A and B are shown apart, each in its own frame.
Chain A
Amino acid sequence: MISARGLTKSYGATRAVDDLSFDVRPGVVTGFLGPNGSGKSTTMRMVMGLDLPDAGAVTLDGRRFHDLRWPLREVGALLEAKAIHPGRSAYNHLLAMAQTNSIPRTRVDEVLGVVGLDGVARRKAGKFSLGMSQRLGIASALLGDPGVLLFDEPINGLDPEGILWVRNLLKGLAGEGRTIFVSSHLMSEMALTATDLVVIGRGQLIADTTVDDFIASNTVATVLVRSPANDRLAAELRTHGAGVTSRDDGALLVTGIDAAAIGDTALAAGLPLHELSPVQASLEEVFMDLTSDMVDYHGQSPVQVGS
């Protein structure tokens, strides 16, 4: 269980995290979503005791990080995969970590096996690809067999096989009753992995909910309708209080009434229907909608230069 209460952190004039409160419960994967620069990493650093909050506090199973007796055995984290001395071997990197918390050497070999790096354990970590570094970072999070795990963008640099592996690993760890907190800016990935969601934008909480509720409560139910008598059907639906818009390909997007009511209306008016399908918004669309005004760094379309 991770509990944040009123977390606030500024760097100079920039307020990175602003009065943030949320709970991450054990047993499920909780996704931590936000655009780049929204304060996800800052929040995770505060959970791990690396940055001190200006106000508020965050606790791990009721205790602050600096009160933990064996930190590595209670909370594991992958924060920056490449933050490793390039001249040190993966094995020695993990061994040095294990020794700080009286974790036996055999456990180092064990986690190297779990992440599939046992064959390259004696190689210098500086020669690792980003994907291998991510696996080493995951190994270091697992090292102390902790009940709380944090992963900051764990699938960066992984191939599709690795992504699938991480997804299963996270779900498996949660299934054992651990608290799993995973940040990502990839909504589609979170939709597949996470059960709960904490969504932030510009350091402020946007939502603390489940993935299903988040989609349901932030989308207007829309039904896609096709009919050879589009205009007449649209007029008929509007008299029943529906909102109707036309798409370029001739389909109608109907809001305000459900698919059954649309079918009944068409039948009553004697109009044929060729398609009637509810449209499910993706987590990605909901997220983009919700945070569009909170994104700090917008890309720009290339400017056309007239000749």
Chain B
Amino acid sequence: MTTATVPPPVVLGAFDEGHAGLANQMRSEWTKLRSVRSTWVCLVVVFVAGIGLAALVTNIEAGRWGSLGLADRATFDPVRFSQTGTFLSQFVVGVLGALVITSEYATGSIRTTLSITSKRTTVLVAKLVVIGVVVFVVAEVTAFASFFTSQVILLAHGAKALPPGATILTQIRSTTIPYVSLADSAALRAVFLSGVYLLLLTLLACGIGFILRHTAGAIAAFVGVLLVLPLIVDVLPSSFASSFEKYLPSNLGLAMTLVTTRKTDFAGVLLPPWPATGLLAAYGAVLIVIAGLLLVRRDA
């Protein structure tokens, strides 16, 4: 150990050309993400919870069809059962999205990160892209795997697709469990947007993390938006609350993943799926722009 004095001469290649850019930073962020265990724990939980809850809930609900009341039959959504895991996963990906940056502030390694890059916004963008791609892939795989798991169980319970042009009345009167396949564009959209919902929440949480720079604070804020905000809105006078509760992130998620062939159910209460997706993305974008402005201005 003591014999080493001066590092050996190295040839690192010319650095008069080009500059450290987004591609470099993205490689680095991927190395950081894959080299801590919490990443893998979170992703495995998303996948296992997705399929496990889909199987569990679908099995329970399918077995009850014969004894369901009119209202329950009217709102029976064979796709939503398959995406039950999203309720848990949204918090898991939120933690993951926040940790990507808050763990660097907690350990102080943010000062290493920012002292080897001359453009701070590159760090923000690289982190968002890397965590976004990783969560999106896992979330979509989980969403479709959950859907197929659910489908197998429904078929085992004798589910049958409703005839074309089916209404709520058709569904209520059906003697067999209603069933949809991915050939149904509404079902396909709902399953796909279930993964998109987790992606957007991850980016939102990452933005909160950049702004608050504190793990516990960021996670509390994220959970507050998803869980506490709806409770607060709930106790407000209903005429007042109903005008904006459809804009709550949790309700946007519901709007995105609902199979709305029976659109009368939630007409007016929820936004249509694509506008809901756009609004949630806009929330994320606003937070990320604020995060970027603060990152450039604040001392590390």
Write the residues of chain A forming the contact surface with B, with a CB cutoff of 8 angstroms. 45, 48-52, 65-74, 77, 79-80, 82-89, 92-93, 95-97, 99-104, 107, 110-111, 113-116, 140, 142, 144-145, 161-162, 164-165, 168-169, 172-173, 175-176
Bound Cα distance from A87 to B36, whole angstroms:
6
Which of B20, B37, B299 is close to A102, meaning CB atoms less than 8 Å apart? B20
Distance from A139 Cβ to chain B, minimum over Cβ atoms (Å): 9
Tell me whether A116 and B31 are in contact (CB under 8 A): no
Q: Across the interface, which residues of B come within 8 angstroms of A74, CB to CB?
A: 15
Q: List 12 A-B contacts (CB under 8 A).
A: A45-B300, A48-B111, A51-B300, A69-B18, A69-B118, A70-B20, A71-B115, A71-B117, A85-B104, A100-B20, A116-B4, A165-B2
Is there contact, CB below 8 Å, between B107 and A84? yes
In contact, B31 and A95 (Cβ under 8 angstroms):
yes
User: Are A107 and B118 in contact, CB atoms less than 8 angstroms apart?
Assistant: no
B175: interface (CB < 8 Å)? no
- B: which residues have CB within 8 A of A? 1-2, 4-8, 10, 12-13, 15-16, 18-20, 24-25, 27-29, 31-32, 35-38, 103-104, 107-109, 111-112, 114-119, 297, 299-300
Chain B residues with CB under 8 A of A88: 32, 35-36
- On whether the beta carbons of A96 and B28 are closer than 8 Å, the reply is yes
CB neighbours (8 Å) of B300 from chain A are 45, 50-51
Listed from nearest, the 8 A-B pairs whose CB atoms lie closest are A83-B108, A172-B6, A69-B19, A92-B35, A116-B1, A99-B28, A96-B31, A99-B27
Contacts A49-B114, A68-B118, A71-B118 known; A176 to B6 CB distance under 8 Å? yes
Chain A residue with minimal CB distance to B19? A69
Docked Cα-Cα span, A116 to B5, in Å, equals 11
Chain A residue contacts of B10, Cβ below 8 A: 107, 110, 145
**Residue of B28, B114, B116, B118 most packed against chain A (CB within 10 A):** B116
Which residues of the partner chain B approach A49 to less than 8 Å between Cβ atoms? 114-115, 118
In the bound complex, residues from chain B placing their C-beta under 8 Å from that of A101 are: 15, 20, 24, 116
Cβ B108 vs Cβ A82 within 8 A: yes
A50 touches B27 (CB 8 A): no
Supposing A49-B115, A51-B299, A96-B35 touch, asked if A83 and B107 sit within 8 A by C-beta, the answer is yes
